[in-house]
Amino acid sequence: MPSDYVPILIYLLVATFIAAFALVLPHYLGPRRPNPAKSDTIESGKLSYGDARRRVPVQYYIVAMVFILFDIEVLFFYPWAVLFWDLKWYGLVQIAIFAFLLVESYIYIWKKGAFKWK
Amino acid sequence: MNDLLLLSPEIIIAVTAFLVLTLDIIWKGDRRSAVILPWVTVAGAVAALLAVVYIWPAASDTYGIATDTGNFVPMLALDRLAIFFKILAVLTVALVGLSAVDFIAQRSPFRGEFYVFTLLAGLSLMLLSAATNLVMIYLSLEFLSISSYVMTAYLRRDDRSVEAAIKYLLYGAVASGVMLYGFSLLYGATGSVDLATIARRIGESQVSLTFVVSAVVMILSGFGFKIALVPFHQWSPDAYEGAPTPVTAFLSVGPKAAGFAVLIRVLVVALPEYSVNWTAILSLVSILTMTVGNLVALWQTNIKRMLAYSSIAQAGYMLIGLAAWSAEPGGWAGNGISGILLFLFAYMFTNLGIFAVAIALENQLGTANIDDYAGLIRRSPYLSIALIIFFLSLIGIPPTGGFMGKLFVFGAAIDRGLYILAGIGILNSVISVYYYFGVVRRAFFVEAEDDTPIRVSPALNLVVTVTMIMTLLIALYGQPFINLANSSAQILAAAF
Amino acid sequence: MIPLSWWLMVSAALFSIGVYGALSRKNAIGILMGVELILNAVNINLVAFWRYVAPNDISGQVFAIMVITVAAAEAAVGLALVIAVYRRRHSAIVEELDILKQ
């Protein structure tokens, strides 16, 4: 029923209002005295250096590619998890073999030093 | 028979691959990896071969996964055709593994992984030749492709190896994307991914012809890429030249055999309704492939590049067999498919043998120029004799396996009245004599600048000997091989 | 409901853009992006056909998941090769890869 979603709608409206309120009110009430340090990029308390648009070390790409591969392999756990009770031992053994292959390749990547940050 | 038992050759190869990978990690790729792992690979391949022989009598089943709605989704067929290609795959793995021993140990810091990739590529060949389902065909084809890309780039500090791989990958990715679009159209037209069901739906003529025709054209481009048929062959000379030579040996046999397996299965099982149309297309492609391959091969100075064009031409000859196929049983030469199988069997031993000779020379000289073969008869009489036998086989002169293959393929074409096609095939074989014997002429009649004997390692010697004996045996004691090819050519159109 | 032909038109357009990109780009990364578009066109096709032609059998959906996975693997190998080439030659332009003679 569409009416079931009314509480969610109210919740969204309230959340939007509070966020807007918190942003707009200081803008009008607070004093503004900008200086170079204030308008600089926030670097969690450290001093910032250089430009954000620069080449990232190639080492990072290996981690990124490995991440993408393992990330997508997780896709195959979802159908199994949904049908966990129906598939019984048959499904469990199959997913165990699949997981074993993933772990084996993970160990291989690890032992080959792909995660070492040089 | 138990399902797992029927899958035992694949399981053995997969377990061997992971064993090799684990041992390589444990030994950290040291001397033991280089010396022991090739033999582990060969042992795995031999065990798989024994398993194939063991399951041969059971060859008739189709198996797959049962869904909870009671549907049975056939994934792999265990027919004679699949078993034939399994034999081919394990033999290729064993022979390539053996011929790579010194080459890889000398050139790459990663000595163990090479055998893992060889085994996995072999596994993908076995799965591909048995796949009866578009999903399975796509998965195993990509499995084979990705393993081949990595193997081509194996010497990653060598500019040529990496360049070959990137070209191979870019061509391959586009070709497989187009093929996949064809698969999706075929799925849309018939509502099924199973080849037999697709054939049934087409037979009941519930499908739109436009859909099926455009789908088939796209699918053929993907398979044509794997086999390196002529409009889709540009990648192969570069990939063959740049790849490490044992990988070139694999590329010239593995993907080609797999491409033929899947082409035969898709055309014969799913699309027999259109056999009149594809006979015409395949005849044209076959003529183009043989002619272009042979003519360009005449000008090559690098042995690997020459063999690339030669293997394009050989694929053209094999395609004649498929063009000559028809549903009725053939005459003495079989139904065309049996000719292809016999041809592929002989071609595998011959080509792997030639590449073993090329690897032996490259290990010592560091180059792969045809001029380096000058005076080979003084430097290594054994290799020179082997070279002559292999080239005779590629030309198709008795008493060699290549002659038997050509006899049956051309015979099937003449049986079907495709006289022009067979005639062009024979004409092309005559042209090929020129460049094959260019190498032989150098080996026997040109003086070498340097008379140092070529030292051949025991593993390579084994490969040369085995391939030479088999090349001769297929012709001299041919009946068992002809029977094997004939009985493998009966394809079970999975009856669902 | 949106007719099937609309989905097929979107997919065909995406496929054509992908093929054009793959054939016209000089940068290897650009070609790989074209290939990804082709594969996404395939996925749209598969899922649309599953919904409209054969909704009782989930082969189409499973096929799409497989395509996504394989595409990731292929892209990973492709990018690794591009990096290997770039490290040595400082270029990913395909036309500049000409050591192997044509």
Q: Report pLDDT digits (tens) over B249-268.
A: 999 999 999 999 999 888 88
**Residue extents of the structural domains in chain C:** 4-96
What band does B214 get if pLDDT is binned at 50, 70 and 90? confident
Q: Any idea which of B101-110, B229-238, B302-311 has the lowest mean pLDDT? A: B101-110
Q: Do residue C79 and residue A58 have CB atoms under 8 angstroms apart?
A: no
What pLDDT shows up at residue A30?
Answer: 81
CA distances to B254, B452, B478 from B196, rounded to whole Å, are: 26, 59, 34
Number of domains forming the structure of chain B: 1
Q: Which domains does chain A have, with CATH numbers?
A: 2-111 (1.20.58.1610)
Checking if the pLDDT of A43 tops 70, the result is no
Q: Do residue B153 and residue C38 have CB atoms under 8 angstroms apart?
A: no
Chains contacting chain C through 3 or more C-beta pairs under 8 A:
A, B
Q: Do residue A108 and residue B68 have CB atoms under 8 angstroms apart?
A: no
What pLDDT shows up at residue B61?
Answer: 54
Checking if the pLDDT of B41 tops 90, the result is yes
Residue B173 structure tokens: 């990715």
Contact list in A for residue C80 (CB cut-off 8 A) is 65
C56-99, pLDDT tens digit by residue? 888 899 999 999 999 999 999 999 899 888 888 877 787 777 77
The CA distance from C97 to the nearest CA of chain B, in Å, is: 6
- Note whether B416 and B275 are within 8 A (CB): no
Contact list in A for residue C75 (CB cut-off 8 A) is 68
Percent of chain B's residues with pLDDT above 90? 45
Residues 6+ apart with CB under 8 A from B333: B339, B407, B408, B409, B411, B412, B414, B415
Q: Do residue B187 and residue C49 have CB atoms under 8 angstroms apart?
A: yes
Is residue A32 helix, strand or coil?
coil
Q: Do residue C69 and residue A76 have CB atoms under 8 angstroms apart?
A: yes
Give a yes or no: residue B86 inside a domain. no
What pLDDT shows up at residue C78?
Answer: 92
What pLDDT shows up at residue A58?
Answer: 67
Give a yes or no: residue B243 inside a domain. no
Q: Do residue B18 and residue A108 have CB atoms under 8 angstroms apart?
A: no
B166 vs A33: which has the higher pLDDT: B166
CB burial of B289-326 (b: ≥16 within 10 Å; e: otherwise) equals: bbbbbbebbeebebbbbbbbbbbbbbbbbbbbbbbbbe
Of C65, C80, C87, the CB nearest to A65: C80
Query: Residues B182-190: what's their mean pLDDT?
Result: 91
ipTM for this model: 0.95
Query: Residues B139-166: what's their mean pLDDT?
Result: 91
B234 vs A37: which has the higher pLDDT: B234
Checking if the pLDDT of B69 tops 70, the result is no
Q: CA of B167: which chain C residue's CA is closest?
A: C94
Checking if the pLDDT of B121 tops 90, the result is yes
Give a yes or no: residue B113 inside a domain. no
B409-458, pLDDT tens digit by residue? 998 888 888 888 899 999 999 999 999 988 888 888 888 777 788 888 88
Size of interface B-C (CB pairs under 8 A): 128
- Chain A residues within 8 angstroms (CB to CB) of chain C: 58, 61, 65, 68-69, 72-73, 75-76
What band does B67 get if pLDDT is binned at 50, 70 and 90? very low
Query: Residues A106-111: what's their mean pLDDT?
Result: 90
What pLDDT shows up at residue B165?
Answer: 93
- CATH architecture of the domain with range C4-96: Orthogonal Bundle (1.10)
Give a yes or no: residue B160 inside a domain. no
CA distances to B279, B432, C11 from C4, rounded to whole Å, are: 33, 52, 11
Structural domain boundaries, residue B372: 275-496
Contact list in C for residue A72 (CB cut-off 8 A) is 68-69, 72
Q: Do residue A104 and residue B68 have CB atoms under 8 angstroms apart?
A: no
In this structure, how many other beta carbons lie within 10 angstroms of the beta carbon of residue A4? 7
Give a yes or no: residue B333 inside a domain. yes
What pLDDT shows up at residue B126?
Answer: 93
- Note whether B244 and B165 are within 8 A (CB): no
Instruction: Region of B98 please: left (phi>0), alpha (psi -120 to 50) or beta.
Output: alpha
- Note whether C19 and C38 are within 8 A (CB): yes
Q: Any idea which of A48-52, B125-129, B267-271 has the lowest mean pLDDT? A: A48-52
Checking if the pLDDT of B52 tops 60, the result is yes
